[in-house]
Amino acid sequence: MERGYKIRSKPDYQSLTWREHALAHVVVAKGKGGMAVLQLFQQMYPRQPVKVLYIRDKDESVDYATTLTKLIGEGLQCFDSEQEGLYAFFRMLSDCHMGTQFYMSGTESFIWSAVKLAKLHGVQEDDVMKQMMASLSRPVYCVHCKGMTTDITTNIATCRKCGRKLFVRDHFSRLLGAYMGLQVDAEDPGEVPEIEEIYP
């Protein structure tokens, strides 16, 4: 990568910290993202109502559900699949009021899946606090078929929808919540450069 060159579309992630002014707090995390939630509760247990949705990641050895249960108690809901967890989060959004603060942690793919659901309820992406955990893996949007492929750790991805080999760009779209993927062998079909893991 060229030194001193910053890609402006790439989101900046933070360490989760409680927002002081809040009506309520909602925390959504998956897999190793649970560590960011534990760190949040090391800071304090806020006075306002708190809801935590935690999704276990079956591909990972860590499971923070037990520790989180001890720490949080009844405000915690645990899920075994991302779909289930995100569905519960989406349903919860209609009961949330203005002033609710949102915190998300996990892989970039997971964070943006959750952010996009919140955006459907008028929450603006900038107002959600996000901490990337576990991996640098990327969500990739196929600019040809509009398919989304998540948790990509390599320079070239295979589109889950159309099967094209996509070059994973650094250009990130906040609207789509993904990096742009362009067919890598469009000029010379079949000429795919070496595939390497660069987002471990």
* Residue ranges binding another protein (CB under 8 A): 19, 21-23, 93-94, 96-101, 118, 121-124, 126-127
CA–CA separation, 14 vs 150, rounded Å?
Answer: 21
> Between 71 and 96, whose beta carbon lies closer to another protein?
96
CB of 89 to another protein, least distance (A): 12
> Between 8 and 97, whose beta carbon lies closer to another protein?
97
> Between 1 and 120, whose beta carbon lies closer to another protein?
120
Q: Kindly tell me the sign of the dihedral angle through the C-alpha atoms of 61, 179, 162, 82.
A: positive
* CB-based contact 121:94 (threshold 8 Å): yes
> Between 127 and 196, whose beta carbon lies closer to another protein?
127
The closest of 56, 91, 50 to 74, measured between CA atoms, is 50
CB of 121 to another protein, least distance (A): 4
**Residues 6 or more apart in contact with residue 188 via CB below 8 angstroms:** none
CB of 53 to another protein, least distance (A): 16
**Residue found by looking up tokens 């959600």 in the block:** 128
